[in-house]
Amino acid sequence: MNDQLSTTFAALADPTRRAILARLATGEASVGELAAPFDMTMPAITKHLNVLERAGLIVRGREAQWRPCKLKADPLKGAASWLDDYRQHWEQ
Amino acid sequence: MNDQLSTTFAALADPTRRAILARLATGEASVGELAAPFDMTMPAITKHLNVLERAGLIVRGREAQWRPCKLKADPLKGAASWLDDYRQHWEQ
DNA sequence: TTTGTATTTTACCAATCAGTTAATTAAACA
DNA sequence: TGTTTAATTAACTGATTGGTAAAATACAAA
């Protein structure tokens, strides 16, 4: 499992990571802001962000002691287009 | 990770399983036929089929000593619609 | 220069994953 | 009845995952 599509789908296969992406769709956020809604320690969030970063779904900047995260939706394009090949099958 | 969307994405996060789905998109196939293209033992394929079945992406029948597999694309609908919410983001 | 705030790194853990070989089940056939 | 073919189950392995607590790093501010 080292191909782009597998990495993308694997990154999306976790509700915490999908929630993080949903939050980032509304704009940049710091790690602390991203962590706030979850009953989870900061290191756990950092790990999720690492997964998203490796999948190319976010980029991390630096601003003083904050590391603002930004959505990079490009890899989702490949996932959506793979799924699209099956559209006829779920539309009967 | 017990929600439908996570289970669906996790099932898709493996190239062997995606290839199996692609093959099934062309019609039913037995486990042996599905296994043929891969350098992998039958039990490994059975396990992949179990993952796909638990995700609701295939159904298994019975015909003599064969267990024909059939694509059930419905869960892909949810995945596609989740991704659709991000379309604007990858289209700049 | 100390203190506080934000985040990551390290080291650990239990659970799951993707694969194997060997044994088992199920049905067809001679 | 056996024997063959198709597939699954069982038991095992090494790697990865998702979480933790505690220590380390990086910068700001007093």
Q: What is the distance between the alpha carbons of residues A7 and B53, in angstroms, rounded to a whole number?
A: 21
For residue B1, pLDDT beyond 90: no
Instruction: State residue B40's pLDDT score.
Output: 97
Tell me what the mean pLDDT of segment B28-47 comes to: 98
Residues 19-78 of A with CB under 7 A from strand C: 30-33, 35, 42-43, 45-47, 49-50, 60, 65-68
B55 to chain A, any CB pair closer than 8 A? The answer is no
User: How many CB atoms lie under 10 A from the CB of residue A1?
Assistant: 11
What gap in Å lies between CA A4 and CA A7, rounded to an integer? 5
As a whole number, mean pLDDT of residues B59-80 equals 96
Indicate if CB(A62) is under 7 A from strand D. yes
Question: Which residues does chain B have within 8 Å of residue A15's beta carbon, measured at their own beta carbons?
Answer: 1, 3, 5-6
Task: Give the torsion sign (CA, A33, B1, B34, A2).
Answer: positive
Q: Which of A85, A81, A69, A89 lies closest to A27 in space, CA to CA?
A: A69
Closest listed residue to residue A50, CA positions, set A36, A66, A67: A67
**For A89, which DSSP code?**
H
Which pLDDT band, with edges at 50, 70 and 90, does A25 fall under?
very high
The confidence band for A2, taking pLDDT boundaries of 50, 70 and 90, is confident
Question: Above 80 in pLDDT, residue B9?
Answer: yes
Q: How confident is the model at residue A51 (pLDDT cuts 50, 70, 90)?
A: very high
Count of C-beta atoms within a 10 Å radius of residue A86: 19
Nucleotides of D under 7 A from a protein CB: 5-11, 17-22, 26-28
Q: Which of B26, B27, B80 is nearest to A87 (CA)?
A: B80
User: What global pTM score does this model have?
Assistant: 0.95
Cα–Cα distance, A72 to A50 (Å, whole number): 14
Quote the mean pLDDT of chain A.
97
Task: Give the bridge partners for A66, in sequence order.
Answer: A63
The tokens of A64 are what?
A: 């003083």
pLDDT recorded at residue B20: 98
- pLDDT value at residue B92: 80
pLDDT confidence bin for B2, thresholds 50/70/90: confident
A73 and B82: CB-CB below 8 Å?
no
pLDDT tier for residue A27 given thresholds of 50, 70 and 90? very high
Q: Whose CA is closest to A12, among B4, B51, B50? A: B4
Q: Is the pLDDT of residue A1 over 80?
A: no
